[in-house]
Amino acid sequence: MKRAEYKIPGGKLLSAELAVEGDHMVGVKITGDFFMHPETSIIELEKALEGTPAADLEDTVNGFFRENDVTLFGIHVEDFVKVVKMALES
Amino acid sequence: MKETWRLIDMRIEDAPTQMAIDEAIAMARLKENTPNTVRLYRWSPSAVSIGYFQSIEKEVNLPACEEHGVDVIRRITGGGAVYHDYNGEITYSLVAPEADPKMPADILASYELICGAIANGLAQLGVDAEFKPVNDIVAGGKKISGNAQTRRHGVVLQHGTVLVDTDIRRMFQVLQVSDAKISDKLIKAVEDRVTNLRRYLGRQVGFDEARAALIKGFEDTFDVALQPGELTEAENRLVKQLHDKYSSREWVFQR
């Protein structure tokens, strides 16, 4: 299991946990004290990343936020990319 | 004639009930045409609430909660873990439509306004408090209130904690403190960052006094009269349903 924690400048803490099978991310879980409306979007984001090639991380996250009406507060789209990338590199 | 909002005043309930009431009021607001509502409340037994996105294992020392009879609950709102000390904390919640002329559409602006109501309330007690983005209220540079907002069912629901006289040692026992043991040094470090009414004012502040000040803060900030009221039958039915969700293992342990 790969894990990373990232403290966003300004305060919020973001964690990612995942495994890699072949080139693919599995069991992706993102936790932290940020804000995201609607809240259940986090489950959809994790689903979108499930089984995705690690190389497609950034495109998948950006695509998710482009296609879904999600409001972030205390966090930005690139923070999700960053923490998952950190976990992949751990 | 001043606009009237409903005040659900200082109910003392367990964690699943408190969270169910907040969500029920938000669900009913437009559907049942209920009034805008402010609640002030305390948690019995004391409880840890964690943000929707937080990992329970990472944030909460479950054996310690068990040992001390502290409830653990997951909120529908994001944000961080809070220790709701029955003897040292007041929680508030506010529900109003997103389209309410008094409610800014911008999320940060609405935090600023609602946190401003809390700060105005604290000013009644002589506390010089101010909103600190993202979602805190600070007094003398130290956090005295944490706040969390969600938007759903066309309404804004914001709830938050006002620290009156928190047992910091117990707070550390029930929250996961990164691998270090609870040292006096650590407690000192937190006391440098977090304060409460008793410590800031150098005197005991009773719940009645704090409650009255917070009510005044809401009334002045929103230019409304808060009228004590009860939940409607429809809301009570929702509370019953939502209570089951909030007490379920699937909800609390979902991440």
Query: What ipTM goes with this model?
Result: 0.95
Q: What is the pTM of this model?
A: 0.95
Answer yes or no: are the C-beta atoms of B63 and B72 closer than 8 Å. no
Q: Domain B3-252 in CATH: superfamily? A: Bira Bifunctional Protein; Domain 2 (3.30.930.10)
In the structure, what pLDDT confidence band is assigned to residue B184 with cuts at 50, 70 and 90? Answer: confident
Query: Quick check: bond before B134 cis, omega within 30?
Result: yes
- Domain ranges (residues) in chain B: 3-252
How far off is chain B from A46, nearest CA to CA, in Å?
12
Contact B255 A73 (CB under 8 A): no
Q: Which of B54, B58, B135 shows the shortest C-beta gap to A74?
A: B135
Measured CA to CA, the distance from residue B126 to residue B226 in angstroms comes to 22
Return the higher-pLDDT residue of A7 and B71.
B71
**pLDDT tens across B190-230, in order?**
778 899 999 999 999 999 999 999 999 999 999 999 999 99
As a whole number, mean pLDDT of residues B172-187 equals 72
In the structure, what pLDDT confidence band is assigned to residue B182 with cuts at 50, 70 and 90? Answer: low
Q: How are beta strands B3-13 and B37-43 bridged, if at all?
A: parallel
Domains of chain A listed by start with CATH number: 2-89 (3.30.390.50)
Measured CA to CA, the distance from residue A64 to residue A80 in angstroms comes to 11
Which residues of A fall within a CB distance of 8 Å from B150? 37, 39
As a whole number, mean pLDDT of residues B76-86 equals 96
Would you say residue B168 has pLDDT above 90?
A: no
pLDDT score for B191:
79
**pLDDT tens across B238-247, in order?**
999 999 999 9
Contact A35 B255 (CB under 8 A): no
**Which residue on chain B is closest to A72 by alpha carbon?**
B107
pLDDT score for B240:
98
Which residues of B fall within a CB distance of 8 Å from A79? none
How far off is chain B from A29, nearest CA to CA, in Å?
8
**Residue A3 contacts B where some CB pair is shorter than 8 Å:** no
How far off is chain A from B139, nearest CA to CA, in Å?
18
Contact A37 B51 (CB under 8 A): no
Is residue B116 classed as helix, strand or coil in its secondary structure?
helix
Retrieve residue B101's tokens: 């002329």
